């Protein structure tokens, strides 16, 4: 096996690369869930509250251009779709922030708990017992 293939295999099987791949896949699915929550649950009531406006339908239509005998279709600036995407981003960023904050809090608790000191070797236990017996004998 060539050196390149060995290095690639080590990289691909290393925990970090696999963890990153899993994170990207789960992140994509998470993004779809949050987008659905925004589009299907959060935005309809907001649109209803402001008079039935659907943000994705908000746009500015530019005038059609006459080029020779033909007229081009009018171009649109879809600022409502941009607003919707910004709301999606804000909610996704908030969710990721809360997730990372929770994970950091849990990892700090794990790190803060001191590990139990390792048990002394059998020789040290035996020497401590001998020391204690000698102290009792001297009294």
The CATH number linked to 14 is 1.10.1200.120
| Residue 33 near residue 57, CB atoms below 8 Å | no
pTM metric for this prediction: 0.50
Q: Which residues contact 109 (CB under 8 A, 6 or more apart)?
A: none
Q: Which domain holds residue 87?
A: 3-115
Q: What is the pLDDT along the chain (139 residues), one digit of tens a residue?
A: 688 888 877 776 776 777 777 788 888 888 888 788 877 888 788 778 878 777 778 899 988 888 878 888 888 898 988 888 888 788 878 877 888 888 888 877 766 666 677 888 888 888 888 888 888 887 6
Query: Is 137 part of any domain?
Result: no
Query: Is 104 part of any domain?
Result: yes
Kindly state the helix (H) or strand (E) to which residue 71 belongs, with its residue range.
Answer: strand 70-71
Query: Is 97 part of any domain?
Result: yes
Query: Is 25 part of any domain?
Result: yes
Q: Which residues contact 71 (CB under 8 A, 6 or more apart)?
A: 64, 65
Number of folded domains that form the chain: 1
Query: Is 58 part of any domain?
Result: yes
Count other Cβ atoms within 10 Å, centred on residue 34. 19
Query: Is 27 part of any domain?
Result: yes
Query: Is 49 part of any domain?
Result: yes
């Amino acid at each position: 096996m060539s050196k390149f293939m060995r290095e690639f295999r080590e990289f691909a099987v290393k925990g970090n690369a696999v963890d990153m791949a899993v994170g990207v896949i789960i992140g994509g699915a998470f993004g779809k869930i949050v987008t659905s929550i925004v589009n299907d649950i959060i935005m309809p009531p907001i649109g209803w509250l402001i008079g039935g406006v659907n943000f994705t339908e908000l746009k500015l239509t530019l005038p059609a251009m006459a080029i020779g005998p033909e007229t081009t279709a009018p171009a649109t600036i879809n600022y409502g779709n941009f607003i919707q995407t910004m709301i999606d981003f804000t909610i996704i960023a908030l969710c990721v922030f809360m997730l990372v904050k929770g994970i950091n809090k849990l990892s700090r608790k794990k790190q803060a708990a001191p590990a139990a000191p390792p048990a002394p070797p059998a020789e040290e236990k035996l020497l401590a017992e001998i020391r204690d017996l000698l102290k009792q004998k001297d009294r």
